[in-house]
Amino acid sequence: MSVDRADLLLRARAARELQRRREQRPLDYWRPTPPQRDFLACPARYKLLRGPNQAGKTDVGAAELVYRMAGYNPWTGREHPRGDYRVLVYSWDQLKPIARKIWERVPKDRLHERSHYDAARQKWTGHAFMLRHRSGQWSRVDFTTVLAGEMGNASATLDGIWVDEPPPEHLWGELDARVRKRRGDIWLTMTPSPWKWPIDWLRGLVADGAIAETHFGLTPENCTPLGGLPFYSAEEIERFRIMTPPSQRPMRLDGEWEGPAEGSVFEQWSRDSMLRPAAELWEDMRRFGK
C-alpha cells in the first residue's frame, strides 16, 4: 500500500469519526451568530430574542432548551439542575418545525430509550422526551399550545418554559405561575406579529426591564456564524425587502415591534373603488324592489 493511499484512508476514517461525533453531539460543533451568542449569554431569568423571520431564532431557542436539560450552558457558565420544562407553540402544526430543531440539537447518546423522534411526521413520540442530565438523572420536556388556553397550560410546576412567538396577554400570568415555585426561567423567541393579537403588554414588560431583550435586524453580519460565512448576502436581503409588503417590512426584516401607521395596507385601495354614489344605490334599490 502506498503512503498516499494509507494517508487517504486515515483521512477518510477521521472524517467518518468526525461526522459520527457531530451527529451524536451536534451542539459541540454548532456555531451561533452574534445575536444568538448574545441571547445565550444573557443570564436573566426572563429574556426575549426579537428578530426577523428565518434568522435563527428557533435554532437558538432549541439550543437554550438542550443546554438547560443537559445541565450546563457554556455561554453563561451557568449550571442548571435536573429540570422539568415546557415548550409553548401556537398550534400542533407549528410544533413540527420546532420538534425538528430540537432533534437537530439533542445529544443522541443522552436520549432516554423511550424518547423517539419520528422524522417522517416531525414529532416526538408522546409529544415529549427525556434527556440525561449531567447528574445522571433525567430532565423532561412536554409540549403544549396557545390554543389550549389557560387550562391547558395550568397545574404543572416547571423549571423553565420556552415560548416560540409572542403569546396573548391572558396566557402570560399562567406561564409565570408555572415557574414561580422553582424560581424557573422563561425565554421567548419571536418576530413581532401584532396582527394576531395585541402585544403592547409584552413591549411594556421589556421597556420596564422585567424581561431582558436581545433585538436584531436582518443583516449579513447578524447572519454570520462564529468563524463561518453569512447565510444571507446583502443582495438576498435586499430582494427579501422588495418582496415583503411595506406594512410588514419593519417586523419581518428588522424585528421591529410594529410597522408604519401611514397609508393603507392594500396599496390599490381608493375611495372610488370602494364607495358608490348615493344615486346609483337608490337606482339599484328601485330596480330590485328594495
The pLDDT tens digits for 188-221 are 999 998 667 889 999 999 999 999 999 999 999 9
> Which residues is 48 bridged to in the sheet?
188, 213
Whether the pLDDT of residue 120 is over 60: the answer is: yes
- Mean pLDDT in residue range 255-264: 73
Exposed / middle / buried, residue 264 (Cβ in 10 Å: 0-12, 13-18, 19+): exposed
Whether the pLDDT of residue 74 is over 80: the answer is: yes
The answer to whether the CB of 179 falls within 8 A of the CB of 154 is no
The pLDDT tens digits for 90-119 are 888 888 899 999 999 999 999 998 888 888
| pLDDT band, very low/low/confident/very high, at 268 (cuts 50, 70, 90) | low
Whether the pLDDT of residue 284 is over 70: the answer is: no
pLDDT of amino acid 180: 94
pLDDT of amino acid 36: 97
What is the Cα–Cα distance from 42 to 30, expressed in whole angstroms? 18
| pLDDT band, very low/low/confident/very high, at 163 (cuts 50, 70, 90) | very high
pLDDT of amino acid 11: 78
The answer to whether the CB of 38 falls within 8 A of the CB of 203 is no
Share of the chain above pLDDT 90, in %: 59
pLDDT of amino acid 250: 93
- Mean pLDDT in residue range 137-163: 87
pLDDT of amino acid 230: 93
What is the Cα–Cα distance from 175 to 186, expressed in whole angstroms? 8
What does the mean pLDDT of the chain come to?
A: 87
- Mean pLDDT in residue range 249-256: 94
Whether the pLDDT of residue 1 is over 50: the answer is: no
What is the Cα–Cα distance from 12 to 269, expressed in whole angstroms? 63
The answer to whether the CB of 48 falls within 8 A of the CB of 203 is no
The pLDDT tens digits for 224-236 are 998 889 999 999 9
Exposed / middle / buried, residue 107 (Cβ in 10 Å: 0-12, 13-18, 19+): middle
Share of the chain above pLDDT 70, in %: 86
The pLDDT tens digits for 12-64 are 777 787 777 778 788 998 999 999 999 999 999 999 999 999 999 999 999 99
- Mean pLDDT in residue range 149-168: 86
